[in-house]
């Protein structure tokens, strides 16, 4: 299928259709000229690669990998790498576009990219994952790099995978290139504060949203869907700031205690048992039941489309802070707006990760590293300024925060396109 066919045939309810709808809505509000609009509706480059990999039993399996680079007008591309059996090219393109807006809304000099491999990492050994990762990197070596496209961890990838990519790329270049990836181990030039960064950014935006709505942190209640890295860090940081966690969940289900759940103790329980289910003193609930709990703040930090048209009318939070990418469908957003629920959109709420990835990239290029306090202080400042810009547009134009964030982001990228012009 050609790119034009994919763009014209994508389902409005699918990942690409939703992102394009958000772009089109923002473009209409700022009277974006057609030439720039059409440029931003298409990725700059999409690469599909075959990844022959030797398995542990001596056989070979050929995996399919993708890398979509949406835009480079503000700087090199930046975006995660995910390993998932249900990954599609449409999803990768949509995520690359979302990444462009995320970088633009927090005003860091990147464009968006995203990559992935269609595989089930839970069924692969460490050796198989390493060989597949190194071959994937080799296939992409001409289109990635510190000045071209910087990869980072995403679903089912981590610091170890980033180390394999960095090493493979460095072997191709003939010298060590730490800035080719972010989210790598500290020993290889990773940034302090990176693991907590996305969750910390979520907490900063929640704090600012509650301040704007005259809601005190002390005594507030929150629930977390998806107690992974983002969700657990957001929970721990919020827990230390005054609010009380009432419930949390993972892929196996959730736990609920209206009197409160210790975020640290829950994390220890999950590390010991592999799930939040069965936490002492709690009641087992489903993910859907968790979403419908009455609370001050709901943090959907799992996968896409958790809040949909069929359940949005049962959301009972005052604030929804999107720790995950795309957890709310466009139809659900309309319902939440009608009900007066304040949504902090993903491209703003969870941008803390890419902000500190940017810090890591800068540190790698300079070979000069910051303290964790310096990282956290700079992150807080950038997130507050971004929230203030988006909130100002939200109030001035009378639009929801998602559309306001898109207006800020699209306008910023459009300005770069205009100033650079079209070559030749």
Query: Which residue, of 344, 374, 401, is where some domain finishes?
Result: 344
> 92: closest CA among 120, 122, 69?
69
Residue that is last in its domain, among 149, 177, 205: 177
Whether residue 204 is found in the same domain as residue 305: yes
**Length of the chain counted residue by residue:** 424
State whether 220 and 333 are in the same domain: yes
The verdict on 133 and 206 lying in the same domain is: no
Helix (H, G, I), strand (E, B) or coil at 69: strand
Tell me how far apart the alpha carbons of residues 216 and 207 are, in angstroms, rounded to a whole number: 9
153 and 226 together in one domain = no
From 326, 344, 362, give the residue that closes a domain: 344
Give the pair of three-digit tokens for residue 295.
């609370």
Cβ(53)–Cβ(118) below 8 Å: no
Q: In this structure, are 200 and 172 located in the same domain?
A: no
CATH number at residue 79: 3.40.50.10860
Based on the fold, state whether residues 203 and 245 are members of the same structural domain.
yes
Does residue 200 sit in the same domain as residue 170? no
Q: Is residue 360 part of a domain?
A: no
The rounded distance, in Å, linking the Cα atoms of 350 and 324 is 7
In order along its 424 residues, the chain shows pLDDT tens digits of 677 777 767 766 677 988 999 999 999 999 999 999 999 999 999 999 999 999 999 999 999 999 999 999 999 999 999 999 999 999 999 999 999 999 999 999 999 999 999 999 999 999 999 999 999 999 999 999 999 999 999 889 999 999 999 999 999 999 999 999 999 999 999 999 999 999 999 999 999 999 999 999 999 999 999 999 999 999 999 999 999 999 999 999 999 999 999 999 999 999 999 999 999 999 999 999 999 999 999 999 987 789 999 999 999 999 999 999 889 988 999 999 999 999 999 999 999 999 999 999 999 999 999 999 999 999 999 999 999 999 999 999 999 999 999 999 999 999 999 999 988 8
Residue 237 located in a structural domain: yes
Residue 87 lies in a domain: yes
Q: Kindly state whether residue 103 falls inside one of the protein's structural domains.
A: yes
Residue entry with tokens 């059996």: 85
* Cα distance between residue 79 and residue 101, in whole Å: 12
Report the alpha-carbon distance of residue 178 to residue 10 in Å, rounded.
Answer: 37
Kindly state the tokens that stand for 416. Answer: 């770069």
Structure tokens at 13: 């309810």
Pairing between β-strand 342-344 and β-strand 316-321 as defined by DSSP bridges: parallel
DSSP 226-249: --SHHHHHHHHHHHTTS-EEEEEE
Same domain, 215 and 332: yes
Residue span of the structural domain in which 246 resides: 195-344
Residue in 129, 117, 120 with CA at minimum distance from that of residue 92? 117
Whether 317 contacts 298, CB under 8 Å: yes
**Residue 299 counted as domain residue:** yes
Number of domains the chain contains? 2
Do 52 and 168 belong to one domain?
yes
């Amino acid at each position: 299928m050609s790119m034009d066919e994919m763009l014209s045939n994508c389902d409005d309810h699918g990942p690409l259709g939703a992102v394009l709808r958000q772009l089109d809505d923002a473009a209409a509000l700022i009277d974006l000229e057609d030439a720039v609009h059409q440029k931003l509706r298409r990725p700059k480059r999409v690469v599909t690669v075959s990844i022959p990999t030797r398995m542990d039993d001596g056989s070979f399996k050929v995996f399919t990998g993708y890398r979509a680079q949406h835009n480079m007008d503000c700087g090199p591309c930046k975006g995660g790498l995910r390993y998932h059996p249900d990954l599609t090219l449409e999803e990768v393109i949509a995520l690359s576009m979302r990444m462009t807006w995320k970088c633009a809304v927090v005003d860091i000099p990147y464009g968006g990219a995203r990559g992935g491999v269609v595989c089930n990492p839970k069924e692969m050994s460490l050796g198989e994952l390493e060989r597949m990762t190194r071959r994937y990197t080799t296939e992409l070596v001409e289109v990635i790099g510190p000045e071209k496209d910087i990869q980072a961890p995403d679903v089912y990838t981590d610091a170890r995978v980033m180390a394999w990519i960095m090493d493979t790329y460095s072997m191709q270049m003939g010298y060590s290139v730490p800035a080719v990836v972010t989210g790598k181990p500290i020993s290889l030039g990773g940034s302090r504060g990176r693991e907590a960064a996305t969750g910390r950014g979520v907490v900063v935006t929640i704090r600012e949203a509650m301040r704007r709505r005259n809601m005190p942190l002390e005594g507030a209640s929150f629930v977390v869907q998806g107690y992974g890295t983002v969700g657990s860090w957001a929970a721990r940081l919020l827990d230390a700031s005054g609010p009380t966690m009432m419930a949390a969940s993972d892929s196996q289900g959730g736990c609920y205690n209206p009197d409160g759940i210790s975020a640290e103790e829950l994390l220890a329980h999950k590390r010991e048992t592999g799930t939040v289910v069965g936490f002492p003193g709690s009641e087992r609930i489903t993910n859907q039941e968790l979403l419908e709990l009455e609370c001050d703040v709901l943090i959907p930090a799992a996968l896409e489309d958790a809040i949909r048209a069929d359940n949005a009318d049962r959301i009972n939070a005052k604030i929804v802070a999107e720790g995950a990418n795309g957890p709310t469908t466009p139809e659900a957003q309309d319902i939440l707006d009608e009900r007066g629920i304040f949504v902090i959109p993903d491209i703003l709420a969870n941008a803390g990760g890419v902000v500190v990835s940017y810090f890591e990239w800068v540190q790698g290029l300079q070979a000069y590293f910051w303290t964790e306090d310096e990282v956290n202080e700079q992150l807080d400042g950038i997130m507050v300024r971004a929230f203030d810009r988006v909130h100002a547009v939200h109030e001035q134009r009378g639009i929801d925060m998602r559309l306001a964030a898109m207006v800020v982001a699209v306008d910023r990228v459009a300005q770069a396109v205009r100033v650079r012009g079209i070559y030749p």
